[in-house]
Structure 1
Amino acid sequence: MSLQDPNLSNPKQKKRVAIILSNPTVSPTTGWPVGFWWSELTHPYYVLTEKGFEVEIFSPKGGKCEADAMSDPRDPSGYSASDLISMGFIATPRLAALVESTKKVTEIDVAKFDAILVAGGQSPMFFFEGATNLHKKFVEFYEAGKVTCALCHGVAILRYARLSNGELLAKGKTVTGFANVEEDFADNAVWDMNLLPRGKHVMPWRIEDEMRRIGANYIQVGLWRSFAIRDGNLITGQQNFSGAQTAELVAATLGA
């Protein structure tokens, strides 16, 4: 598929991107409340809006979405303390309000958007299995030739998204997503802090293992390194440090 494909690039009209957040849930493996990851919303939002794109935020159920605590720059852990883009988003009332009342993904008119970007966080690993409306909408974008993107644990959508012929969308595609080496790092961190018994994993399954199991060509570039890859109109980003690069690839694919 060429970058000049009219389905991907129409310079005569303003490009529109739907960013999807997972609704909040509780992890059955840890008992913790989980949600989306701030930088996987805010960094793509910043890149895309700076390039003149219109961005709308949706979720499978609609309504208020909650972020994973450690993705908040104000969290006592200090894990995301240097994330000034997310802090600016949170501190801007007009922007912070966008996650308070998201629209349902069923409200997305695919004909009126150029791309869909599914953000990650911990919630997708538990919530997306039952989010059949999101599976269908993601495939609708893909089969319409629109840019179809998933980031970090948002790549969990590819475990479930099936084309109209019944084949898994990701089968035979080159993809990335949260890597095993990063899952190992996360597991060891919570074990060292005595937040979970050693040997009990944060995630119920792993993106890297599952993508390979379903027949995708999974690749990654190492621990916490920014990375995004395009295969046709499917774009995937490795983890939460890849939000800007993933959005840049979406924009470039759309001709911006």
Structure 2
Amino acid sequence: MDKKILVVVTNIDKYESTKEPTGLWLGELVHFYNRIQKDGIKMDIASIQGGNVPIDPLSVSENILDEVTRKYYEDEDFMKKLNSSLKLGELNPEDYRVIYFTGGHGTMWDFPNSSEIQEMSKTIYENGGILSAVCHGVGALLKIKDKNGELAIKGKEVTGYSNTEEELANAMNKIPFQLEEELKKAGAKYTKALNPFVSYTRVDGTVITGQNPQSTEEVAEKVLDVLKMIEK
């Protein structure tokens, strides 16, 4: 494939309401990155502001850190690349076949209202490319419009971090909105797994979403599957 995949991460390092640390949930980047690179597809990592990417400390705590995440977290070259993220507004959407939004609670503040995200995504989507996201990163899809001015997720089957998962994470009083409710308000057909924190993904055309961190590698697999179909 001559075009690349654009991976978008947050620049937000604190909950606005409580000032507690947040940021990128690292596993939602690296499990996707690790799977995609096995197929030799090039990826760029970008954020709205560019530069440093804060990592949610919970995502690299000993009880969360898995083998893949630890490998990347301890890789100096990868972390240097992550903390030198490209500036989204300076990139050309024509260079990308897929845009993938990572999660972490930080994304709830900088993804949904970003004009850079909306413009980049609209062009990729109009060109027949893939909109993909996991967990809180699905919030990036809330205001992306298609060529007819309709919300891209309207009528689409999607998933994303659920109210139940917010409650179990003790985050309900910290967040600016409930993603599950906002996806429904945007006209999406929201569904979720019967049990929280298990892998669950939805594919509707070229819109691919995953519910939670556990869904990340499956999102990558679905992206590769759809890429093979649209690249034929």
Please tell me the TM-score bracket, short chain as reference.
over 0.9
> 191, 208, 211: which is aligned to 1:219?
191
> 41, 52, 55: which is aligned to 1:67?
55
* Alignment-mate amino acid for residue 213 of structure 1: K
TM-superposed deviation, 1:63:
0.7
Pair 1:207-2:179 in alignment: yes
Which runs of 5 or more residues in structure 2 are unaligned? Answer: none
SS in 2 for 1:114: strand
TM-superposed deviation, 1:14:
4.7
Pair 1:153-2:113 in alignment: no
SS in 2 for 1:230: strand
TM-superposed deviation, 1:129:
3.7
* Alignment-mate amino acid for residue 108 of structure 2: M
Which 4+ runs in 1 deviate beyond 3 A? none
- Paired position in structure 2 for 1:54: 42
* Alignment-mate amino acid for residue 20 of structure 1: V
Contact 2:208 2:223 in 1 (8 A): yes
Q: State the alpha-carbon separation in 2 of the partners of residues 84 and 66 from structure 1.
A: 20
* Alignment-mate amino acid for residue 180 of structure 2: E
Question: Which residues in structure 2 correspond to 1:71-86 (within 5 Å)?
Answer: 71-72=59-60, 75=61, 78-81=62-65, 83-86=66-69
- Paired position in structure 1 for 2:210: 237
- Paired position in structure 2 for 1:21: 9
Pick the structure with greater CA Rg.
1
> 61, 67, 73: which is aligned to 1:90?
73
Pair 1:142-2:125 in alignment: yes
TM-superposed deviation, 1:21:
0.3
Tell me how many residue pairs correspond in the alignment.
Answer: 228
Q: State the alpha-carbon separation in 2 of the partners of residues 122 and 79 from structure 1.
A: 19
* Alignment-mate amino acid for residue 245 of structure 1: E
Contact 1:25 1:127 in 2 (8 A): no
Give me the identity figure in percent: 29
TM-score, normalized by length of structure 2?
0.92
Contact 1:228 1:242 in 2 (8 A): yes
SS in 2 for 1:203: coil
Q: State the alpha-carbon separation in 2 of the partners of residues 111 and 158 from structure 1.
A: 19
Pair 1:168-2:154 in alignment: no
Q: State the alpha-carbon separation in 2 of the partners of residues 24 and 210 from structure 1.
A: 20
SS in 1 for 2:180: helix
